[in-house]
Amino acid sequence: MLLQVKDLSVNYGVIQAVKGINFEVNEGEIVSLIGANGAGKSTTLHAISGLIRPKAGKILYNDREIQKESSQKIVSGGISQVPEGRHIFPGLSVMENLQMGAFLRKDRDKVKKDYANIFERFPVLEERKNQDAATLSGGEQQMLAMGRALMAAPKLLLLDEPSMGLAPIFINEIFDIIEEIKRNGTTVLLIEQNAAKALSIADRGYVLSVGKIVLSGTGAELLSNDAVQKAYLGG
């Protein structure tokens, strides 16, 4: 098992945003967390990536507890996050943004190969590699954010709302890319408000509601679940 979250609780001040949740991610899976705004999805990702400290519980990555580790150590260990809203570095070129993703790596020869792989996967980034990243469209910026995260050579990729604010043509492309990332050997933990899209590509999923996991199952099981359809799929 690649990732285990055990009895995880996270507070923002006096507000308990995550309330003792348990879930797991096996190597080679796409696992999706779905739920309404404020359900605790992004908070959960931030705890896994070391951006916030849990109040209680454990996060095990490859059987090692990481809930007290720094973000830098967590990234070096093989977990990389694509944040909600992309957060590319304006004023830096596309290439410089990608270089930031590889900042902690020492395997320079492999890094060169990975640049080539990123440009093969995202041809538009190679076409615009010398452009200021801020001049890219929203969809192109999302591709850059994903490429930057992949340049850290993660075993586990955390994706926070990758389709947010994108035109439908880009949404389909982004989800195709997520499936390709899985096929190429990277495990994915996906947070996404487009529940139908997320569950359609997920091996398994969990439904978060007000900081608690209320349902779990395969992607197909959750897609066909009456409660999920009514709450999240407009059924």
Domain boundaries, the chain: 3-232
Whole-angstrom CA distances from 92 to 57, 97, 120, 138, 161 are 38, 6, 21, 16, 23
Instruction: For Cα atoms 223, 227, 233, give the angle at the middle one, nearest 5 degrees.
Output: 50
Instruction: Kindly state the average pLDDT of the residues 99-110.
Output: 88
pLDDT at 232: 82
Residue 235: is its pLDDT beyond 70?
no
If DSSP codes are grouped into helix, strand and coil, which group holds residue 13?
coil
Residue 4: is its pLDDT beyond 70?
yes
Residue 32: is its pLDDT beyond 80?
yes
Residue 85: is its pLDDT beyond 90?
no
Residue 175: is its pLDDT beyond 80?
yes
Cβ atoms 115, 108 nearer than 8 A: no
Residue 108: is its pLDDT beyond 90?
no
Instruction: Kindly state the average pLDDT of the residues 145-163.
Output: 94
Instruction: Kindly state the average pLDDT of the residues 137-147.
Output: 92
pLDDT at 169: 84
pLDDT at 136: 94
What contacts 80, CB < 8 A, 6 or more positions away?
101, 149, 150, 152, 154, 156, 157, 158
The per-residue pLDDT of the chain, averaged, comes to 93
Phi-psi region of 127 (alpha: psi -120 to 50; beta: other; left: phi over 0): alpha
Which tens digit of pLDDT belongs to each residue from 55-80? 999 999 999 999 999 999 999 999 99
CATH T-level fold of 3-232: Rossmann fold (3.40.50)
